[in-house]
Amino acid sequence: MTLWTKGMGIIIRNKASKKAFKKASPSGLQHPVIISVKPSVGKTKYEKTISNIKKEGKKEVGKIKRDHIKAMAPLEEAHSKLRQNIQKLKGEPVTKSGLSKGKDLK
């Protein structure tokens, strides 16, 4: 979708955008409100395959990140308890995360 402003009018290059623009502003002087946009998927078999590969790859990355966060949660709790013990030994105020705040340092 391409919108170009020319003076006070707006030139719209896409048919779907023109329909949305007409629905949004009958006078044609206001900025258009985008109602919906269709996803850009290739028309050839090769382009569709590449699109599916990219989509599956993004899903796998998200799945790996979620699994990593679940695996690291118990370790983070242990690390924060260790940092809290170190704060107690140093005589600093103990915080929930175990990290000393700048305003509390002497």
Q: In whole angstroms, what separates CA 2 from the centre of its chain? A: 23
Cα distances (angstroms) measured from residue 50 to each of 62, 85, 106: 19, 52, 58
Question: Which DSSP state fits 97?
Answer: S
Query: Which of these, 46, 47, 41, 36, lies nearest to 1 by C-alpha position?
Result: 36
As a whole number, mean pLDDT of residues 11-40 equals 63
Return the pLDDT at 94: 86
| Res. 21: pLDDT tops 80 | no
Return the pLDDT at 72: 92
pTM (two decimals): 0.42
Give the length of the chain: 106
Return the pLDDT at 6: 46
| Res. 66: pLDDT tops 70 | yes
Count CB-CB contacts under 10 A for residue 9: 10
Return the pLDDT at 1: 45
Percent of the chain predicted with pLDDT > 70: 65
Confidence of residue 55 (pLDDT cuts 50, 70, 90): very high
As a whole number, mean pLDDT of residues 96-104 equals 77
